[in-house]
Amino acid sequence: MNIGVLGTGMVGRVISSKLIQLGHSVKMGSRTADNASAAEWVKANGAGATQGTFEDAAKFGEIVFNCTLGMASLEALKAAGEQNLGGKILVDLSNPLDFSHGMPPSFSVCNTDSLGEQIQRAFPAAKVVKTLNTMNALIMVNPSIVPGEHDIFVCGDDSAAKAKVSEILKAFGWSSILDMGDIKSARGTEMLVMMWALLYGKFGSPNFNFRIVK
Amino acid sequence: MNIGVLGTGMVGRVISSKLIQLGHSVKMGSRTADNASAAEWVKANGAGATQGTFEDAAKFGEIVFNCTLGMASLEALKAAGEQNLGGKILVDLSNPLDFSHGMPPSFSVCNTDSLGEQIQRAFPAAKVVKTLNTMNALIMVNPSIVPGEHDIFVCGDDSAAKAKVSEILKAFGWSSILDMGDIKSARGTEMLVMMWALLYGKFGSPNFNFRIVK
């Protein structure tokens, strides 16, 4: 499948590389078509790996992954273009976190709204699925870094889109995928990241994940 | 030990009964000295169980448990009296949740502050330990309702107070007690309750808990 990945940071590169490994073609999008981080990634990943602007990547993808920083996501998606996202699954990995005031971080949106909902409202024709935002990037594509059973969450209004994204998550190695409900439930999975940030500080390592035991 | 429990709802009654079972004397406090729910609890729990006002309960307790609803906690603690809380461990179980607009609930405070911090600021001479707020009341005092390993969190500025509260949690049956750090970390454990509320809605049962896997 052709997949567009927005964002050239750690998360964007890790997700893109895994998608390439799984046999997909990936165009990594950035503000500029010649982003150095994306160029390095293209070089390292060979055939099937290309780069371009946010717009190029969104046009290219049958599915689009938003791996931009939460504070910049709405702007990046606007640059990607509503017409290039409409009807497509938009996998949203972003967290609306502001680290500029130190630890713990603060959220630019939470409680009665979420970034997932803001993105769905701004791009009503896209099928937003919030997922992968509750763990370290390396664990996203290699859950076995954390031993035993642990969970990943999907939130979104479109059941078929969540099912399709769950297939991709299974290909990433996930076995316990919890459907949290509609995109409003992104409030829960985004706010969970405050706990994640505190646990990361406590453990001094990002190699952990959440498990719901029942 | 003499323990004061503020609040006569489900959480207050369950905690109070467990403390009585463990051999403590408990005075359950309410806005009025003759609260009907507290009277019923006193009748059912015999020797060692008494009731009174918030002030009576706080005066009585060497340790005080805040089991009032989060939206009313600061007012209840004010009625309990700063002079009756000073120097004492104040175990805070409350969540600042507003269910008046339906599900999911909203927080009256979160993100850059927490109810735990508000209480610590309002009662600087008390040793506030935030804990027990991330699971159903029955699980609080009987963790084995949920099979296998799962976690409880403690947050607070006073290490000795956290150690003392951890002893009580062990007596409740908890084996995995995670010290999250100072009272600021209550932001994480309170915000976690959004996820709890969504999972409760999803499962249709409160018989689950969080486990940090690493």
Q: Does A200 touch chain B (CB under 8 A)?
A: no
Say which of A149, A191, A210 has its CB closest to residue B194.
A191
Say which of B111, B203, B214 has its CB closest to residue A107.
B111
Percentage of residues of chain B with pLDDT beyond 90: 96
Mean per-residue pLDDT of chain A: 97
Q: Are the beta carbons of A191 and B191 separated by less than 8 Å?
A: yes
Supply the pLDDT for residue B102.
Answer: 85
> For the domain bounded by B2-203, which CATH number is listed?
3.40.50.720
Please report where in the chains the tokens 């927490």 appear, as a residue: B114
Question: Quick one: CA torsion of A14, A19, A22, A24, rounded to 10 degrees?
Answer: -150
Which positions 156-185 of A are in contact with B (Cβ < 8 Å)?
178-181, 184-185
Rounded to a whole number of angstroms, the CA Rg of chain B reads 16
Q: What is the pLDDT along chain A (214 residues), one digit of tens a residue?
A: 999 999 999 999 999 999 999 999 999 999 999 999 999 999 999 889 999 999 999 999 999 999 999 999 999 999 999 999 999 999 999 999 998 888 889 999 999 999 999 999 999 999 999 999 999 999 999 999 999 999 999 999 999 999 999 999 999 999 999 999 999 999 999 999 999 999 999 999 999 999 999 9
Supply the pLDDT for residue B99.
Answer: 86
pLDDT of A125-174, one tens digit each?
Answer: 999 999 999 999 999 999 999 999 999 999 999 999 999 999 999 999 99
Say which of A110, A187, A208 has its CB closest to residue B214.
A208
Supply the pLDDT for residue B84.
Answer: 98
Supply the pLDDT for residue B46.
Answer: 87
**B184 contacts in chain A (CB < 8 Å):** 104
Supply the pLDDT for residue A167.
Answer: 98
Supply the pLDDT for residue A100.
Answer: 87
Here the tokens at position A189 are 């999975």
Supply the pLDDT for residue A101.
Answer: 86
Supply the pLDDT for residue B210.
Answer: 98
CB B53 within 8 A of CB B77: no
3-state secondary structure of A181: strand
Domain positions in chain A: 2-203
Q: Are the beta carbons of B111 and A106 separated by less than 8 Å?
A: yes
Here the tokens at position B144 are 């084995």
pLDDT reading at B87 higher than 90? yes
How large is the average pLDDT for residues B75-81? Answer: 98
Q: Does B207 touch chain A (CB under 8 A)?
A: yes
Q: Does A213 touch chain B (CB under 8 A)?
A: yes
CB B182 within 8 A of CB B156: yes
Say which of B104, B187, B211 has its CB closest to residue A211.
B211
CA distance A214 to B14: 21
DSSP A106: E
pLDDT of B133-182, one tens digit each?
Answer: 999 999 999 999 999 999 999 999 999 999 999 999 999 999 999 999 99
pLDDT reading at B105 higher than 90? yes
Q: How far B34 CA lies from chain A's nearest CA (Å)?
A: 37
Supply the pLDDT for residue A102.
Answer: 85
Supply the pLDDT for residue B75.
Answer: 98
Q: Are the beta carbons of B149 and A213 separated by less than 8 Å?
A: yes
Q: Does B204 touch chain A (CB under 8 A)?
A: no
User: Confidence band (pLDDT; 50, 70, 90) for B56?
Assistant: very high
